[in-house]
Structure 1
């Protein structure tokens, strides 16, 4: 059982407890907070409350997070593309189609299965299901992920994510021709009330989300862009690009419903650049991963169509 404690400030007074706690702790979503409240794992001044409780200044809140469900996770030789590794951190280039961590009913073939075969010194902060995992990218997004090999490194990397000092740049191919060279999308993201498996731009039950984009190349009906994350919400780039009218190519959830004619399975999105400060040495680290072959093939086809 993990325990977290927080005292409410004057600025937070009058806000719903589920929103305050979701905003205060990056490891908890608002739905997770609501579930913990329903299970009486959150107390205010020693007493359980409901999700709509409005916090008061100096409220002492305790969160008790149960241990994650034990899953039998087998180490597998998945021939991971390890870009960098030392005693504290590891950077891996995840292929499209690979899930980051196991879940009930899906316990093999994940990045975690491969990491457990590759090394036996991963941080334990996220429990047995997500050892070493500091952040995630979607199954059908390829690219760079940082992994912590001990708890001290894990805490440092998480703090950098919270402070928005990490550098995360993605390459994307989107539908439509973006006329302006650069832009910033500042639009809050929350769960789509019509589709609980999707996210959307909304003011309701949402968290702030900021994406910066820059055009790399324009085609007849598409644009190649890079997108830099200032925040890291679920499906952020996919949701933001759809929101401004330029959904990502071959995105089955947020893109056009018709089947793509381009040689790619899953959204044309790749985590190309990753930067952070090394937890032990303080050195500025920066890594780049080339575009996967399927995205290269898409770009070549777009160039041919341009004539």
Structure 2
């Protein structure tokens, strides 16, 4: 199995992972879920359907079985731009470290932009 160290995740660059199947006869999506704790099963399923996962050099379906000796290649494209802009707002930070931030979110403040609240959301405030 060849996968980049966790420190490279989120670098904004395309990533390529390769896995050599040692014990097979499991679905491709299940096999990948066992290999990666960083990607959800839904994300892995989408990557397979979009053709970002190759089984022995060919595109595959999520339910396709992998066998011992197969080579699974996974390409993770760079993150898409969200278009969400930073906007300053008064936020009460209860705790923050390099992995998490705990906020005292005011009632009525939308968490993320949507059709009703395109800006002035918690996400906009956290980006500022």
What residue in structure 1 maps to residue 36 of structure 2?
25
Q: CA deviation at 1:109?
A: 3.7
Cα deviation digits, residues 161-213 of structure 1 (max 9, x gap): xxxxxxxxxxxxxxxxxxxxxxxxxxxxxxxxxxxxxxxxxxxxxxxxxxxxx
Cα deviation digits, residues 32-66 of structure 1 (max 9, x gap): 32222222110122221111111112322121122
For the 8 Å contact 2:95–2:103, the answer to whether it is kept is: no
What residue in structure 2 maps to residue 91 of structure 1?
101
What residue in structure 2 maps to residue 4 of structure 1?
17
Distance 2:15 2:116 in 1: 25
Higher Cα radius of gyration = 1
Distance 1:106 1:25 in 2: 34
**Where do 5+ consecutive residues of structure 2 fail to align?**
1-13
What residue in structure 1 maps to residue 83 of structure 2?
72
1:111/1:3 CA distance change after superposition, 3 Å: farther
TM-score by length of 1: 0.32
Distance 1:104 1:41 in 2: 31
Moved over 4 A (4+): 101-107
**Where do 5+ consecutive residues of structure 1 fail to align?**
118-307
TM-score by length of 2: 0.66
- Mapping of 1:27-46 within 5 angstroms? 27-46=38-57
Point out the structure with the larger strand share. Answer: 1
1:57/1:104 CA distance change after superposition, 3 Å: farther
Distance 2:36 2:117 in 1: 27
For the 8 Å contact 1:82–1:90, the answer to whether it is kept is: no
For the 8 Å contact 1:94–1:111, the answer to whether it is kept is: no
Choose which of 68, 71, 77 in structure 2 pairs with 1:60: 71
Distance 2:103 2:40 in 1: 26
Corresponding pairs, count: 113
**Higher RCO structure, 1 or 2 (CA under 8 Å, sep 6+):** 2
